Chains A and B, each alone.
Chain A
Amino acid sequence: MRIFRLLLLLLLTGGLPARLPAQAVIEGRVPLPPARPAPVLNQRYEIVSQGGVVGTNPPLAVVYLEGRFPAPTVPAKAVMTQQNLAFVPSLLPVAVGTRVEFPNLDATYHDVFSYSAPKRFDLGRYRAEEQPVPSQVFDVAGLVTLRCDIHEHMRGLILVLATPHFVVTDAAGRFRLGGLPPGRYVLKAWVDSRTTLERPVELQADTVLRVDFP
């Protein structure tokens, strides 16, 4: 009797393992602006000069699919470190509701803050080993510019997106965005605060769509 019920359940649910929905992939390229020179540190009143240790931020873009997607059931987490007097990664896309941790991996203090409208905060001065690692929840979509109150050259960007489908390009502008549901959407490429490219796309199951932004 028990075996019969189990077979009936399998029939009703379509059998095991459950079939995953067919997914699409977009790959392509985004033209990136020329690289900026490495920052010059203000060390006028420092005891020790740190000539070549500064991290650099090559220009990158964020490619994301805009549309209506179900909200994630579990809030996401992400990490942006301070290392070699730079934010790593320098550009971090996150979905709305993501908690971002800011561990300090340098031997000196940092004071991360943002005055951007989507998220205004100031973490204060934290030691590297201090627990818990300071974090913030980014619950409003938009661009958040991070700075350090101690090291004026430091810049980091968090792009808060109302979509779970996004990817950062490599330094050549190449990207591959997978696991996408079929349908009609708008594919966007955020290049900088003034430039967001977009292209309407129609995704079909089990296909790879090539999109090169102009």
Chain B
Amino acid sequence: MKRLLLMAWGLAALAAAGRAAEDGFDRLDAALTGSTAAGGVRARLSGTLDLEGYHFSQPPPGLIVAAGTGLFNPRLTLFLDLQLGGRVYAFVQARADRGFDPSNGPVEGRLDEYALRVTPWADGRVSFQAGKFATVVGNWVRRHGSWEDPFVTAPLPYENLTGMWDVAAVRSAATLLRWAHIRPKSFSGEQFSDNHYRLPLIWGPDYGTGFAASGELGRFNYAAEVKNGALSARPAAWPADEVRWRHPTLSGRLGYRPDERWSLGWSASAGSYLLPVAAPTVAPGRDLDDYREVVLAQDVSFAWHHWQVWAELFTARFQLPVVGDATTTAWYVETKYKFTPQLAGAVRWNQQLFGTVTDSLGVPVPWGYATWRVDVAPSYRFTPHTQLKLQYSLQPDDLGGREFNHTLAAQFTVRF
């Protein structure tokens, strides 16, 4: 806790010193933007440097992997945006950090996103995109970058681990209840050793590999994608060399904007959530395509003057041949208000509920612990290039008891 506060004060001092460098950042931006003589090909290199610190009670919340009660997670993200004429756009996102999700592992480098987009008509009726990129489902992806997101952590549906695995198929209700730690019930505060097998409803921005088509028709917009993994697929399954094209996932979103203030969206996704390694464990006569994650989602956002609101509702059904389907519903609503040009505050309410599976005695049993989480996050922009976010989260422990997990997080971002 003291380290976290010390870090926050240190970063604030650093940001204050950085005010004088505002003009320097603009010059750096100009230096990192280039074009051909005629301007037909233009490129821009930009990025963010995030210094994140977490303090939490065990077990760590969401997708964080750490043994102690604190974690320092630096992250350097580089973006390359490339415009070729008026019809072709490409982008790359590369990161160096301690894992896609915060962990105490060694620093590694990754190519998180790369895509090529072709827009044949200037009116934007359709664009085609290929590569490794964020999902079209929902509305969180558009603000998931550390600079745009009012919070340090993702909404609950994007990071709350369920009892579903991707390395083995559930063959009985007892297995699922054991993986969900319902039976036998684990003790409060226990860090599950099987966390690296478990899946959330949707894993972060889902940078899977595939193809997409999107466009705008009046007040409606649409996007559809074919990818190599389900929405719940883990980051290790996102790259193109993770061959799951025999079992692709199809997702889409239909959007409607009555005016600039409102944005409404309806999404759907279906695809196998099991990795190829799970093939030997499926029920006799079944294959991976019989184990699909089917997601229906609705999203809404509103923005007016200094106030913004976002909400998403997901209903997911994990198909389990022989056992019966396992359903879960997760939703959140978050709001952000700018109190001054530099000071903003955000609050988010998250909740996830679980359906039931029938145990060997014929009794319906929830296959997960219903949970909720409230996040509060003030943020301050020292300059147009430096920002400090703080977050406090309160959530019942993984076992749905009376114990609570308290998480404090601080994130200092330099954008260039």
Do B261 and A120 touch across chains, with their CB atoms under 8 A apart? no
Does A5 sit within 8 A of B, measured CB to CB? no
In the complex, what's the smallest C-beta–C-beta distance from B130 to chain A, in angstroms?
A: 14
Do B39 and A124 touch across chains, with their CB atoms under 8 A apart? no
Q: In the bound complex, what is the Cα–Cα distance between A123 and B214 (angstroms)?
A: 31
Known: A44-B113, A47-B215. A115 touches B33 (CB 8 A): no
Chain A stretch 36-57: residues in CB contact (< 8 A) with chain B? 36-45, 47-53
In the complex, what's the smallest C-beta–C-beta distance from A175 to chain B, in angstroms?
A: 24
Do B305 and A124 touch across chains, with their CB atoms under 8 A apart? yes
Q: In the bound complex, what is the Cα–Cα distance between A155 and B91 (angstroms)?
A: 22
Total A-B residue pairs with C-beta atoms closer than 8 Å? Answer: 119
Contact of A52 among B85, B134, B141, B342 (CB under 8 A): B85
In the complex, what's the smallest C-beta–C-beta distance from B92 to chain A, in angstroms?
A: 10
B: number of interface residues (CB 8 Å)? 57
Do B215 and A125 touch across chains, with their CB atoms under 8 A apart? no
- The residues of A that contact B307 with a CB separation of less than 8 Å are 124
In the complex, what's the smallest C-beta–C-beta distance from B41 to chain A, in angstroms?
A: 10
Q: In the bound complex, what is the Cα–Cα distance between A108 and B307 (angstroms)?
A: 16
In the complex, what's the smallest C-beta–C-beta distance from A176 to chain B, in angstroms?
A: 29
| Contact residues on A (Cβ < 8 Å of other chain), bracket | 35 or more
Chain A stretch 109-165: residues in CB contact (< 8 A) with chain B? 109, 113-115, 120-122, 124-128, 145, 147, 152-153, 155
Known: A37-B35, A125-B303. A51 touches B89 (CB 8 A): yes
Chain B residue nearest in CB terms to A43? B89
Q: In the bound complex, what is the Cα–Cα distance between A113 and B88 (angstroms)?
A: 31
In the complex, what's the smallest C-beta–C-beta distance from B38 to chain A, in angstroms?
A: 11
- The residues of A that contact B91 with a CB separation of less than 8 Å are 42-44
In the complex, what's the smallest C-beta–C-beta distance from B355 to chain A, in angstroms?
A: 32
Do A122 and B141 touch across chains, with their CB atoms under 8 A apart? no
Q: In the bound complex, what is the Cα–Cα distance between A40 and B23 (angstroms)?
A: 19
Do A40 and B43 touch across chains, with their CB atoms under 8 A apart? yes
In the complex, what's the smallest C-beta–C-beta distance from B247 to chain A, in angstroms?
A: 26
Does B87 sit within 8 A of A, measured CB to CB? yes
Known: A42-B79, A193-B23. A51 touches B85 (CB 8 A): yes
Known: A41-B81, A115-B381, A121-B341. A48 touches B221 (CB 8 A): yes
Q: In the bound complex, what is the Cα–Cα distance between A39 and B122 (angstroms)?
A: 18
In the complex, what's the smallest C-beta–C-beta distance from A147 to chain B, in angstroms?
A: 6
Do B81 and A40 touch across chains, with their CB atoms under 8 A apart? yes
Do A37 and B127 touch across chains, with their CB atoms under 8 A apart? no
Do A51 and B87 touch across chains, with their CB atoms under 8 A apart? yes
Do A124 and B306 touch across chains, with their CB atoms under 8 A apart? yes
Q: In the bound complex, what is the Cα–Cα distance between A114 and B216 (angstroms)?
A: 32
**Which of A51, A127, A155 is most buried by chain B, counting CB atoms within 10 A of its CB?**
A51
In the complex, what's the smallest C-beta–C-beta distance from A160 to chain B, in angstroms?
A: 17
Do A113 and B341 touch across chains, with their CB atoms under 8 A apart? yes
Do B35 and A38 touch across chains, with their CB atoms under 8 A apart? yes
Q: Footprint of A on B, CB under 8 Å?
A: 22-23, 26, 30, 33-35, 39, 42-44, 46, 79, 81-83, 85-89, 91, 93, 113, 115, 117, 119, 122, 124, 127, 133-134, 141-142, 214-216, 221-223, 255, 259-261, 303-308, 338, 340-342, 381, 383-384
Question: Which 4 A-B pairs give the minimum distances between C-beta atoms?
Answer: A52-B86, A51-B86, A37-B35, A48-B124
With A43-B117, A44-B113, A155-B26 given, can you name 8 additional A-B contacts, CB distance below 8 Å? A37-B34, A51-B89, A109-B303, A113-B341, A114-B341, A115-B381, A126-B305, A193-B23
Chosen A-B contacts, 6 in total, with CB atoms closer than 8 Å, are A37-B42, A38-B39, A47-B215, A52-B86, A115-B22, A152-B46
